[in-house]
Structure formats: C-alpha cells, structure tokens
Amino acid sequence: MLSTLLRSTLALLLIWALFSQCQDEPPAAVKQVYVSADRNETARRPSTECNFRYTVLNSFDKLNNDSQREAIRTGFTVWQQMCPNLGFLDFQATDRAHLVVRFVDPSEFPMPYMVAPVGLMDGRTGVGGTLRKESNGTYSLLLSNTFNWDKNSLTKAVAYHAGLFLGMPTSTEPGSLMALQFLDQPVVRSKADSVAINSLYKSTCTDLTVSYLPLTLKVSGPISKTIQLYKPGMISIKANGQMKVGDIVGTVGPEGATVFPVLPGYNKVSAMFHAALMYKINNEADWRYWADNQTFKVDNKQVVDLTFDINDDDQKNNTGAFTVVIDYQ
C-alpha cells in the first residue's frame, strides 16, 4: 500500500512539473489595468521649460472624436489647474510639439503587460500606455488601441503619463493621479499630487503668455503678441480680408486706400496709405508698411514681439478686420 501511495504521489508531482513547464506565459489576470509599465521613482524636473505643446496624431475608433479629445485635454489640464507655473497647449504642428499622442498596437510597448497576482499564481494584466523618448528629444505618448477606453480611463492614462513627462514620481496612493493601477476610480488630484507638482514648478512661467507659430490674428486696431520661436529663419506675414473705413474711403484691403492720395490728416503714419495694415518688431520706433514688408528674418532669439495696427487715426467708425497669418516661410 505504501508503494502504491508513493507511486501516486510521484505521478502527481510529475504531472505538476509538466504542467508548470508548459506555462510559456503567465495566465491572464483578473480584470484590472495598469495605466503604464513606466515609473518615476523620484521627483525630478526634466528641464527648465514650463509651457509644453502636445499634438494628437490619430484617434481611437471606439470612442467619438469629441469625447476623446476632451478626455486627452483634461488629462493635461488637470496638472496646470493644480500648478499655475506650467501649461499644456494643444498644438497642430507635429514637428513643433514636445509630446505626440498616438493610439498604437500594444506590441509597440516595451512592456505590453504587467505581472499581477491571480490567486496563488502570477498572471498578466493589461498596460494602457507608455511614454517613449524619441531620438530628437521629443516624447511620444503611446496608448493601446486594443483597450476599451472611455473618457475616464483615457483621462487617467494621459494624466499619469503627463505626470511622468513633468517629472512626477509614481505613487502607491490609490487616489493619486500618479497611481499605476486603474480601478475605474474618478480622476481627481490628491493633496500629495498638488504639493509635489508645485514643488517641482515653483517659478512663474513667463512662457504661458506667449504665442506659437503658426499664428492667426484678426486685426482691426492695435494688437500685440509675443511669439515663441524655435529656430532662426524667415517669418512670413500673410494678410487678406477687407475693412470698411468710412463712407468716403469705403472698403479697403490690407494694402490700404491705394486709390486715394495719402491722407496725412487722418493717418497715424502720414506717408503711408490710409487704413493700411502695418506692424512693428520688438517695439521699434517706426511702423512697417505690410504690403512692402511681408517677410522678416529672425536669428537665434527665443521670442519676438509683434505689434499690428491700422493706419487710421480714428478707428471707431471702422468695421471688419484683416486676417493675418504669421508663420515660418
């Protein structure tokens, strides 16, 4: 009888060993999601920048476009709502963005799943996204296109990776934006999140008041913009549209009232056509007539101040506006 019991025990052990060896991959875990396999162990601000441009390159086909854009935007803005010294700008020019958001197959992730306990064994659980630094120094936020995203989970994934991008540490606090595990909890900031982000970004961010190229303006009177540059080159100013500048002169384009003689008594600049579009660079003394100066060169300066106006000393009776588009040539 002992021999029979021993043989049975050995047979069970052999079956268990064979079963264990056949487990090439851990079994699927219970339904839970890790927003990322990426972690920051400590808080560390990655650069001195404080105003960041992001662009969304594609969309998730199981969530309507407006909802996912709002969810992504909320994932970024939750950080700037906590800290007035940083900002995120939804930017359309991909080549000028700090961060590009894309939905991809999770096979592109360095770690497409996390190992989590399933009873007495370890199993797999999904990963929502990853933050990847590209060779040009920008970042890609890659989100799984196989996960069943809703607005809440998408906002959580974006907020977590935006936090990593900003230098925030991963948290073990379930209510933190920086918690790895997503349990369908509401996406709200914790007190610890607020303290940590404000400790990283202490100084006033002057870049939050700047604009970026391409920039479109409606000009019907004086307007000034500080523009952030990202390279030297030629800047182009294109203008179109019409304004009505009184019953006598009538409707004019950005070139001004070219069919009339110069009207020095009604002009801000006596030698320039009446109601013409004009501009100044960096508060220079003299106005530039737009029609003769539609481009200008910039060097390695980081910002340029542009001021536009209409060459009319009495603008209160004018209607309409010129559309002005500023961009690299």
pLDDT in tens, 43-96: 999 999 999 999 999 999 999 988 999 999 999 999 999 999 999 988 877 888
The CATH number of domain 25-205, selected from 3.30.460.80, 3.40.50.1000, 3.40.390.10, 3.40.640.10: 3.40.390.10
Average pLDDT estimate for 189-194: 94
What lies within 8 Å, CB to CB, of 92 at 6+ separation is: 55
HEC per residue, the chain: CHHHHHHHHHHHHHHHHHHHHCCCCCCEEEEEEEEECCCCCCCCCCCCCCEEEEEECCCCCCCCHHHHHHHHHHHHHHHHHHCCCCEEEECCCHHHCCEEEEEECHHHCCCCEEEEEECCEEEEEEEEEEEEECCCCCEEEEEECCCCCCHHHHHHHHHHHHHHHHCCCCECCCCCCCECEECCCCCCCCHHHHHHHHHHCCCCCHHHHCEECCEEEEECCCEEEEEECCCCEEEEEEEECCEECCCCCCEEECCECCCCCCCHHHCCCCCCCCCCEEEEECCCCCCEEHHHCCEEEECCCCEEEEEEEECCCCCCCCEECEEEEEEEC
* Average confidence score pLDDT of the chain: 88
The domain 210-328 is placed in CATH, from the list 1.10.357.10, 2.60.120.430, 3.50.50.60, 3.40.50.360, at 2.60.120.430
Of 126, 96, 105, 76, nearest in space to 227 by CA: 96
Percent of the chain with pLDDT over 90: 67
As a whole number of angstroms, the distance between CA 328 and CA 314 comes to 33
**How would residue 301 be classed by pLDDT, with cut points 50, 70 and 90?**
confident
At 16, the pLDDT band (50, 70, 90 cuts) reads low
Question: Confidence class of residue 151 from pLDDT cuts 50, 70 and 90?
Answer: very high
Q: How far apart are CA 260 and CA 258, in angstroms?
A: 5
Residue 14's pLDDT is what? Answer: 54
For the chain, the domains span 25-205, 210-328
CA gap 253, 240 in Å, rounded: 7
Q: How many CA atoms lie within 13 A of 321 on its CB side?
A: 13
The residue-averaged pLDDT of 274-302 equals 93
- Between residues 122 and 175, the one the model is more confident about: 175
